[in-house]
């Protein structure tokens, strides 16, 4: 195996795609084993990290993507006007955390934990491409199940959801009990969360696709109250500003 030519071929593939490419597909394209390609990718990633380069390789859920480094965002945005900064408020972070740790999760389960209507927060996270539909719960009404996207992993520097900070046993137990108790008290019959109920997923996982939401805000007042709550609870922007290229 000629490492230089292999690296060049992989670099060409990642550059031309502009998005995360599964290691398996790269291996098929250059006719090498997945293990060999993975080792080459890790070697390339180290090289990009060690040298003063404007780009880097990001590993995301058994895929790799060539991305610009955050250090050069100010320069890039002067040329690429499609870049947007998405600011996450406390409300959005709280909702996103519930989805990340409990996924797949229904809207009713999210609201059971938060204790308030979460339509606006869920819609906003879908708009930001951080949350998407991943399937439906096999109960009457078949409510949508939500999960996080690859943009979520990319934005928070995670390779997979397995890298999320672990919740302590007490916190995890409390979260589970809270969901179960609240769901028994607040859920209508068609949104039961019995853990024995089977869950159906799409054959091809949805990643970052906008989805038509089954449920609309109960009233305009509720949505306005959530919007006002978000505006009043802005958090540290240095750590929670996501940069997204909409091209």
pLDDT tens column, 81-128: 776 677 788 899 999 999 999 899 999 999 998 889 999 999 999 999
Instruction: Please compute, for residue 124, the number of CA atoms within 13 A of its CA located in the half-sphere on the CB side.
Output: 20
Whether 179 is covered by a domain: the verdict is yes
Q: 35 is in which domain, residue-wise?
A: 3-74
pLDDT value, residue 192: 39
* Cα separation, 226 vs 60, whole angstroms: 32
CATH number at residue 118: 1.10.10.10
pLDDT of 50-77, one tens digit each?
888 899 998 888 899 998 888 888 888 8
Q: Are residues 60 and 7 in the same domain?
A: yes
pTM for the full predicted model: 0.55
Q: Are residues 147 and 68 in the same domain?
A: no
Of 115-129, 143-157, 194-208, which gets the smallest average pLDDT? 194-208
Q: Are residues 21 and 116 in the same domain?
A: no
- Indicate the angle between helix axes 119-127 and 220-231, nearest 10 degrees: 60
Contacts of 148 (CB under 8 A, 6+ apart): 96, 99, 100, 103, 130, 131, 132, 161
Q: Are residues 239 and 135 in the same domain?
A: yes
Q: Are residues 138 and 33 in the same domain?
A: no
Whether 80 is covered by a domain: the verdict is no
Whether 82 is covered by a domain: the verdict is no
Instruction: Indicate the number of domains in the chain.
Output: 2
State which of 49, 74, 99 marks the end of a domain.
Answer: 74
State which of 74, 101, 131 marks the end of a domain.
Answer: 74
């Amino acid at each position: 195996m000629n490492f230089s030519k292999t690296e060049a071929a992989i670099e060409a593939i990642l550059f031309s795609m502009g998005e995360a490419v599964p290691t398996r597909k790269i291996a098929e394209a250059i006719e090498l084993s997945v293990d060999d390609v993975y080792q080459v990718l890790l070697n390339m990633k180290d090289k990009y990290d060690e040298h003063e380069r404007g780009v880097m390789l990001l590993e995301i859920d058994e895929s790799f993507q060539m991305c610009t480094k955050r250090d050069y965002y100010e320069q890039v945005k002067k040329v690429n006007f499609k870049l947007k900064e998405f600011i996450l408020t406390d409300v959005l972070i709280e909702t996103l955390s519930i989805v990340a740790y409990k996924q797949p999760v229904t809207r009713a389960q999210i609201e059971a934990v938060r204790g308030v209507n979460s339509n606006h927060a869920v819609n906003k996270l879908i708009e930001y491409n951080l949350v998407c539909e991943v399937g439906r719960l096999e109960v009457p009404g078949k409510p949508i199940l939500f999960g996080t996207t690859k943009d979520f992993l990319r934005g928070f520097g995670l390779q997979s959801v397995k890298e999320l900070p672990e919740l302590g046993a007490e916190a995890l137990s409390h979260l589970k009990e809270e969901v179960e108790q609240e769901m028994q008290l607040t859920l209508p019959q068609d949104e039961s969360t019995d853990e024995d109920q089977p869950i159906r997923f799409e054959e091809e996982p949805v990643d970052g696709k906008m989805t038509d939401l089954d449920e609309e805000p109960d009233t305009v007042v509720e949505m306005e109250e959530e919007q006002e709550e978000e505006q009043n609870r802005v958090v540290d922007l240095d750590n929670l500003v996501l940069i997204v290229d909409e091209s």
